[in-house]
Amino acid sequence: MERKTLTAAAVLGLLVVGLAMPVEAKTRINLWYGLKGYLGKQVVRVCERFNAAQNEYEIVCTGKGNYDQALQAGIAAYRAKKHPHILQGVETATATLMLSGAIYPAYRLMADAGYDVDWSDYIGSIMSYYASSDGKLYSFPFNSSTPVMYYNIDMYEKAGIEGPAETWEQFEENLRSLKASGTACPIAFSTYLWVHLEQFSYMHGEPISTRNNGFDGLDAELVFNRTSYVKHVERLKRWYDEKLGSYAKELFGVGTRESFATGKCGHYFGSIASHGTVLKSAKMKWNVAPLPHNEGVTPNNTVVGGASFWILQGFDEAEYKGVAAFFDFIRSVESQEFWSTVTGYVPTTRSGYDALVAKGFYKQEQYAGREVAIESLARTPPTPLSRGLRLGYFRQIKKIIGDELEQMLAGKKTAQEALDNAVKRGNEQLRRFEKQYKGQSLP
């Protein structure tokens, strides 16, 4: 009797499973991202487009707050074995993620899933940031941008300035002319390290740390207190002291971008990804230009910032096939075009960029200027000092440098003292990271 019931139940169960099969056939892929607001919604649209484009897989994209929070959530989930297949990781966490032992390198995923990817289609300076030292991609670049200078043309005309400055020396003169012509706030600025330390050093071919900015080993040491960055920091201090601009921290609601977009301040340095946002609110004539460089220097390329998609370990082959299909989709020309158009992030592949150029995208009035970003990224082929940074605990190091620079602005330290201490404290972080991953080396 009992056996009969069991058999009946098993048969019934199989039937139910069989009936459910066609509905449940899609393999589910989870992705966690760290973008909020408008940009977050666009990530979801990319996922929806992937779901609409094929029938085998269903990707579910979930927002986890900002970059830091998404990484925290990913780590907590990984430790609890409840992690997503794909995690968006901010660029400063690259070294941590590469050494985590939790990731499935992008190049291997694609090879295992049987895709023959033309890696040279990725734009060199974007690729190099997320690749191992022998050029193999570890995570898929997704939202990539680079900073540019936003300037207010109306204010320029009033002050009789002809065009955006190419050099920092000229730029400072322009700020003074703007001030003299009655502009209360020639620039909204902060110590923004991504622009003033990182891109500045890349463009000038100067090291941020030894060992080629950390790419060659975990024993790198910070050296930015001995480069022309010191003079540049003194320049920021002058802007603050001479009241050439307003020091605007994101924290206080009105950041540099809002100060510029509302027409209050004449300049700001920020990501090209904000092009669309500024466009929506700006009522004045404005444009973007490449970041200035010091006089007498031929600048190198700038480097990408933003985030990339990391594939996490612990899933079966069938699911990874879906993950690979998703990445194959986002590197397609159509998806590249879509993402760049709706956000302002640069296309990560040459074919994507070429398609946009061919369509006359950068000639359209509302998108004019966005090509400045890709031009500065591609200005020169990346040199060992303009590939990016691969330093452990870099998120903390940035916080340390920011703190020291604020103490300098408050007049508690000179630029040299602040940077010397930042290097000392930063190196302690690097040594801690090295000890943490003892015996391991960056790929």
Partner 1 sequence: MIKRVLFRNRLLPYLLILPEVLIVFVFFYWPSAKALFWSFTLEPPFGGVAQWVGLDNFRELFSSPEYYESAGITLIFAFWTTLISMGLALLLAIFVDRVLRGLVVYRTVLMWPYAVAAPAAAVAFQFIFQPGVGFFAFLNDIWPGIWDPNIVGADAMAMVIVAASWKSITYNFIFFLAGLQAIPRTFVEAAALDGAGPTRRFVTIVFPLLSPTFFFLLVINVTDSFTEGFGIINVMTQGGPGGATNILVYKIYQDGFVGLDLSGSSAQSVVLMALVVALTFVQFKWIERRIHYAE
Q: Which two tokens stand for residue 401?
A: 């440098």
Residue type, 249: K
Q: How far is the CB of 93 from partner 1 (least distance, A)?
A: 8
Q: How far is the CB of 41 from partner 1 (least distance, A)?
A: 23
Q: How far is the CB of 409 from partner 1 (least distance, A)?
A: 5
CB of 93 closer than 8 Å to CB of 87: no
Number of residues that bind partner 1 (CB under 8 A): 40
Q: How far is the CB of 75 from partner 1 (least distance, A)?
A: 5
Task: Decide if residue 281 touches partner 1 (CB under 8 A).
Answer: no
Q: How far is the CB of 265 from partner 1 (least distance, A)?
A: 11
Task: Decide if residue 94 touches partner 1 (CB under 8 A).
Answer: no
Cα 261-306-260 angle, rounded to 5 deg: 10
The interaxial angle of helices 229-241 and 168-180, nearest 10 deg, is: 0
Cβ neighbours around 224 below 10 Å, total:
24
Q: Mark 36-52 as b/e (b = at least 16 C-beta within 10 Å).
A: eeebbebbbebbebbbe
Task: Decide if residue 403 touches partner 1 (CB under 8 A).
Answer: yes
Q: How far is the CB of 411 from partner 1 (least distance, A)?
A: 9
Q: Which residue has the tokens 């703007």?
A: 178
Q: How far is the CB of 30 from partner 1 (least distance, A)?
A: 17
Cα 33-36-38 angle, rounded to 5 deg: 115
- Rounded Cα distance between 106 and 122, Å, is 13
223: Cα separation from own chain's centroid: 23
Out of 102, 161, 244, 372, the only residue in the binding site for partner 1 (CB under 8 A) is: 102
Out of 75, 279, 282, 333, the only residue in the binding site for partner 1 (CB under 8 A) is: 75
Q: How far is the CB of 103 from partner 1 (least distance, A)?
A: 9
Task: Decide if residue 183 touches partner 1 (CB under 8 A).
Answer: no
Of 21 and 410, the one with the shorter C-beta distance to partner 1 is: 410
Out of 58, 68, 166, 328, the only residue in the binding site for partner 1 (CB under 8 A) is: 68
Task: Decide if residue 138 touches partner 1 (CB under 8 A).
Answer: no
Out of 123, 137, 409, 422, the only residue in the binding site for partner 1 (CB under 8 A) is: 409
Within 8 A by CB and 6+ apart from 5, the residues are none
Task: Decide if residue 393 touches partner 1 (CB under 8 A).
Answer: yes
- Rounded Cα distance between 262 and 260, Å, is 6
Tell me the per-residue interface mask from 244 to 263 with partner 1, x by CB under 8 A, - otherwise.
--xxxx-xxxx---------
Task: Decide if residue 45 touches partner 1 (CB under 8 A).
Answer: no
Stretch that binds partner 1, among 57-65, 74-82, 158-166, 170-178 (CB under 8 A): 74-82
Spatial CA neighbour of 295 closest among 362, 224, 231, 213: 231
Q: How far is the CB of 69 from partner 1 (least distance, A)?
A: 9
Q: Which helix (H) or strand (E) holds 86?
A: strand 86-90
CB of 106 closer than 8 Å to CB of 137: yes
Of 96 and 128, the one with the shorter C-beta distance to partner 1 is: 96
Tell me the per-residue interface mask from 219 to 248 with partner 1, x by CB under 8 A, - otherwise.
---------------------x-----xxx
Contacts 24+ apart (CB under 8 A), 276-280: 276/342, 276/343, 276/344, 277/38, 277/344, 278/150, 279/366
Q: Residues in the site for partner 1, rule: CB under 8 A?
A: 68, 71-72, 75, 78-79, 93, 96, 100-102, 240, 246-249, 251-254, 393, 395-396, 399, 402-407, 409-410, 412, 425, 428, 432, 435-438
